[in-house]
Amino acid sequence: MPGQPLPRTLADELTTDLAGRAAAPVSVIAPFTGEELYTLPHATVEEVQDAALRARDAQRAWWAAGDAHRRAVLLKGHDLFLERRELLLDAVQTETGKTRGQAFEEVFNSAAATRYAALTARRVLRTEGRRAGIPLVMRTRVRRTPKGLVGVITPWNYPLSLALMDIAPALATGNGVLQKADDQGTLSVLLARRAFVDAGLPPELWQVVAGPGADVGSAVVDAADYVCFTGSTATGRTVAQRAAGRLIGASMELGGKNPLIVLDDVNPEKAAADAAYGCFSAAGQLCVSIERIYVERGVADRFVSAFAERVRNLSLGTDFDFTADVGSLASKAQLERVTSHLDDALAKGATVLAGGTARPDLGPYVVEPTVLTDVTEGMQCFAGETFGPLVAVTVVDDADAAVAAANDTAYGLNASVMSGSRARARRVAARLKAGSVNINEGYRATFGSIDAPMGGVKQSGLGRRNGVDGLLRFTEATTVAELTGVMQLPRTGPEFAKMTGLMVTALKALKAVRRR
């Protein structure tokens, strides 16, 4: 059944769950219509500080409740999340303007991340033995405990999945959460939180605030023991500097200018269809979406023709059902950003192969998916992230040239290789400098692999979410070692004189038997 926009009455009621409401509210616009959806209360810095204290109090009891209890609550939250998926889809579409299919990707990834964190946390937190400095003489263990309070700052473009991919592992490892949700994604976050609270999560444990990054975001960083940030590289630098000033850790997924390499042994039509989705999912407003395509000359004519045709035939729409392939940009600011990049490229000699036109007849922020060629170094979209439905196609002589061009960027978040031979694609993929590389897919192969780490290199981020790495970042490791009593370690000069020969012999023996 088709969904519907979130009614204002529900939006207003959801905001009662916010941890802070004292600052002046702001108007939130529905992308499909450009009209006011509701007014969102913002928090004051003092309210953020109070929310942090409440989350810390709840965290101590949450950790003491044990792994089995945490796992049961999160798994029940997973089930309620799926039961309420239609309302969650409505919320994501209402706030972000994406299609229902791409909103479903969010629900799927959020549930998968929750299940993985709930079922993996016990293994990550288990105290484990490590190789002792002197075997038999010493015994060494490592135990893990939660950081305490995790600050999570989430963007508007994927409000569910980019929240739960950080929040679920933070909760599973026994932490409390203080989240600053983006204004354009707060309702989706609050609906998700309600599912977990209804499943038994203490309401004080997951605090949600909204407000400007300079004030509220900074207050979150100042109150937390660890920070997760998803957003632009420029803002990420500011967050990193503030976290470093407090000597707390941070993980960040930042900007990208993600390349796709099309090798000359592909099926052009299939590669074109896969590339179109990788470029224009969520109208290109995805940190891992493709913005640059390098195609080998041997297949260039067939692929470029098929790709342009595929893009021209994508269905645009703003309905709350599965009829559209591409939805709306999220805001006027996004429309202006994309239009600026497009106008700049055309003024400097780029050629439009598909799209290139705003569609106010469909919605105030709808822009046709656009394919450009002849994009050169002086254009804004050549090296700068557009974060919209705009991709540049460049023909190269061979795979070596494609790899060189793909790696010639300050970013390194995501990349993709398409080939008729997976073995050949893997060889090319191994040469790409990116945190994630997909073969015969744009981004979903890696984005959906929740047991594998995800993150960027170069200016695209710090640390990793997902996988065991994504759980370990929320823990503190403590090494506990003891003497077994087999022998006494030397404490005085004469004792060292007597033991030195024996200890050197032990070192040589350990090397001989290949003991670490």
Q: For 190-222, how does the pLDDT look when each residue is reduced to its tens digit (9 = 90+)?
A: 999 999 999 999 999 999 999 999 999 999 999
Rg value, the chain, Cα: 26
Please write the tens of the pLDDT for every residue from 244-267.
999 999 999 999 999 999 999 999
Q: Indicate if 248 and 276 belong to the same structural domain.
A: no
Q: Indicate if 169 and 297 belong to the same structural domain.
A: no
Kindly state whether residue 510 falls inside one of the protein's structural domains.
yes
Q: Indicate if 190 and 129 belong to the same structural domain.
A: yes
Q: Supply the pLDDT for residue 351.
A: 98
Q: Is 105 a catalytic residue?
A: no
CA distances from 52 to 16, 368, 405, 494 (A): 18, 43, 46, 55
Please write the tens of the pLDDT for every residue from 223-232.
999 999 999 9
Kindly state whether residue 3 falls inside one of the protein's structural domains.
no
Q: Which long-range contacts (CB under 8 A, 24 or more apart) does 339-347 make?
A: 339/367, 340/380, 341/379, 341/380, 341/381, 341/384, 341/386, 341/388, 341/390, 342/370, 342/372, 342/381, 342/390, 344/379, 344/380, 344/381, 345/372, 345/375, 345/379, 345/380, 345/381, 345/392
What is the three-state SS of 140-160? EEEEEEECCEEEEECCCCCCC
State the chain's mean pLDDT as an integer: 97
Q: Indicate if 450 and 495 belong to the same structural domain.
A: no
Please write the tens of the pLDDT for every residue from 46-97.
999 999 999 999 999 999 999 999 999 999 999 999 999 999 999 999 999 9
Q: Supply the pLDDT for residue 8.
A: 97
Kindly state whether residue 418 falls inside one of the protein's structural domains.
yes
Q: Indicate if 363 and 232 belong to the same structural domain.
A: no
DSSP states along 113-148? HHHHHHHHHHHHHS-EEE--SSBTTEEEEEEEEE-S
Structure tokens at 254: 């930042």
Kindly state whether residue 482 falls inside one of the protein's structural domains.
no
Alpha carbons 412 and 435: distance in angstroms, whole number: 6
| Catalytic position from the list 106, 287, 291, 368 | 287
Q: Indicate if 155 and 291 belong to the same structural domain.
A: no
Please write the tens of the pLDDT for every residue from 461-479.
999 999 999 999 999 999 9
Kindly state whether residue 202 falls inside one of the protein's structural domains.
yes
Return the exposure string of 483-501: e unless at least 16 CB atoms fall within 10 Å of the residue's CB, then b: eeeeeeeeeeeeeeeeeee
Give the amino acid at 324: A
The count of other CB atoms within 10 Å of the CB of residue 10 is 17
Confidence of residue 2 (pLDDT cuts 50, 70, 90): confident
Q: Which residue has the tokens 């929310």?
A: 51
Q: Which residues pair with 149 in a beta bridge?
A: 176
Q: Is the pLDDT of residue 516 over 90?
A: no
What is residue 414's three-state secondary structure?
Answer: strand
CB 260 within 8 A of CB 291: no
How far the first Cα of the chain sits from its last, in Å, is 60
Checking DSSP bridges between strand 149-153 and strand 176-180, what pairing results, if any?
parallel
The number of domains in the chain is: 3
Q: Is 287 a catalytic residue?
A: yes
The angle formed by the CA atoms of residues 213, 231 and 151, to the nearest 5 degrees, is 60
Segment 338-350 mean pLDDT? 98
pTM exceeds 0.75, yes or no: yes
Q: Indicate if 302 and 274 belong to the same structural domain.
A: yes
Q: Supply the pLDDT for residue 1.
A: 62
Segment 20-33 mean pLDDT? 97
DSSP letter (8 states) at residue 213:
I
Q: Indicate if 195 and 262 belong to the same structural domain.
A: no
- 324: CATH: 3.40.309.10
Segment 27-49 mean pLDDT? 98
- 188: CATH: 3.40.605.10
Kindly state whether residue 1 falls inside one of the protein's structural domains.
no
Number of DSSP helices (H) and strands (E) in the chain, helices first: 18, 18
| Catalytic position from the list 95, 253, 291, 385 | 253
Phi then psi dihedrals of residue 240, to 5 deg: -65, -40
Percent of the chain with pLDDT over 90: 97
Alpha carbons 62 and 174: distance in angstroms, whole number: 6
Please write the tens of the pLDDT for every residue from 400-439.
999 999 999 999 999 999 999 999 999 999 999 999 999 9
Kindly state whether residue 221 falls inside one of the protein's structural domains.
yes
Residues 6+ apart with CB under 8 A from 40: 15, 25, 26, 27, 28, 183, 186, 210
Q: Indicate if 171 and 283 belong to the same structural domain.
A: no
Segment 151-156 mean pLDDT? 98
Q: Indicate if 215 and 356 belong to the same structural domain.
A: no
Kindly state whether residue 484 falls inside one of the protein's structural domains.
no
Checking DSSP bridges between strand 258-262 and strand 290-296, what pairing results, if any?
parallel
Domain containing 506: what range? 490-516
Q: Indicate if 39 and 81 belong to the same structural domain.
A: yes
Confidence of residue 489 (pLDDT cuts 50, 70, 90): very high
Length in residues, the chain: 516
Q: Is the pLDDT of residue 506 over 90?
A: no
Q: Indicate if 192 and 263 belong to the same structural domain.
A: no
Alpha carbons 169 and 245: distance in angstroms, whole number: 25
Q: With the C-alpha atoms ordered 373, 376, 378, 380, is the resulting torsion angle positive or negative?
A: positive
Structure tokens at 293: 């395509």
